Amino acid sequence: MEQVSEKELLIMELIHYFMIKKNYTPVIIRGIDNEIWLENPNGEFRIIRIVTKEIFNNEQFDFDEFKTKNIVGQIKRKTFNPFIDVLTIYLEMGDNFKKKNNDNKFLKYVYAYNEDDLFNNEIINSHYSDLKTHIKSFDDETNILGKITTDISQKNFEENERLNNMYNQKKTIVTHILIFINLLVFLLMYIIGNGSESTETLIKFGALNGMLVKSGEYYRIITSAFIHIGIFHILCNMYALYSLGPIIEHFFGRLKFLLIYLYSAIIGSLFVLIFNGDNVISAGASGAIFGLLGSLIYFGYTYRGYIGNKMLNQVIPVIILNLLIGFTTPGISNAAHIGGLIGGFAISYMFGSDNNNTISRKVSGIIVTLVLTIFIIYLSLFQ
């Protein structure tokens, strides 16, 4: 059996520490060799980068730094996050290399030839003071490599199982109920009214109108999301709900999904009141549907370490295309779309996810959603 070197063992110990102890997940970057990228949105550093190759001189270091900045720039654009801090741990430096000072706010460096260098490093002691205890705990293990490999494999298995369980063995209920209510209201508009395109019937059933809302009929802010104008309108929205609803319902659960849907509908309606004036009659579930798209963006962003950026790359073009259609087609309210999209993302951020649900994130999510709600209500009803 081939003997493992001290450097290889240290690499495995670091990966074990950041993945098991600090809840980092691997980031897959194409075309990158001899380095490991780990990410945790709530970590002391968002990205930990472990470089296993030797850096011979400062010219090679400068190129490595340039490449890192370029990759981080791509991550920033894909995640819409301009503030990503990276800690790079170099494990082998050549004799001709002169250490660079840690004067960059978002790029920090640790130079460690062995465990003692790590334990004595100022950045490690400041942010990861328990690293020494964690690594030393392996001294009593009879099979260090087996322990490390088993723990990492088990964590990956549990995460994959948890993600798979979002889609399997779950009955979609709330989505179907919402579709049924929308279809029932649409039929009743023809049975007891003059049809879905009749202004009188739309007003009677609770369509959105600024003057009526401001006169005290606030229920229209939500009832309008269950009213549709014409068969094409309801078929498009119900197909979107049928496609998107189960994903969000499985991810967040039935109650949270319902709250996301209703909150997005409300924010979408309030945006209409702000931008479309008091005399416009508006109706439809578009705000709520775009809220589900906003929630899907949050979902894809949160779990991109496991599902990659494929979901984000698919959802964002759909949103852009629909907004372009809204801007160029008469009768479509992009205000509801934009409001619902913002509302859906905000309340999804407030609810959080299993792997991103710290107390600080919960508090910030509540504050963001509360401020957004108060601000939009003020602009739509009191201005």
pLDDT at 167: 54
User: For domain 174-381, is the CATH number 1.10.3720.10?
Assistant: no
Q: Is 124 a residue whose pLDDT tops 80?
A: yes
For residue 258, what pLDDT band results from cuts at 50, 70 and 90?
A: very high
Q: Tokens for 346, please give them.
A: 């905000």
DSSP 226: G
For 28-82, the pLDDT digits (tens) are: 777 677 888 888 877 888 899 998 888 888 888 888 888 888 888 877 776 667 7
Catalytic positions, written as ranges? 286, 337
Strand, coil or helix: what is 73? helix
**Average pLDDT over the chain, rounded to an integer:** 81
- So what's the pLDDT on residue 307? 47
In this predicted model, which residue has the larger pLDDT, 278 or 168?
A: 278
Q: Give pLDDT tens digits for 4-18.
A: 677 878 888 888 888
pLDDT computed for residue 305 by the predictor: 53
User: Where on the phi/psi map is residue 176: left (φ > 0), alpha (ψ -120 to 50), or beta?
Assistant: alpha
Which residue type is seen at 18? F
pLDDT for 287-310, tens place per residue? 999 999 898 888 777 765 544 455
Is the model more confident about 45 or about 159?
A: 45
**Rounded mean pLDDT, 273-296:** 88
Average pLDDT of the residues in 109-123: 86
DSSP code per residue over 321-347: HHHHHHHHSTT--HHHHHHHHHHHHHH
**45 neighbors 276 (Cβ within 8 angstroms):** no
When pLDDT is cut at 50, 70 and 90, the band that residue 203 belongs to is: very high
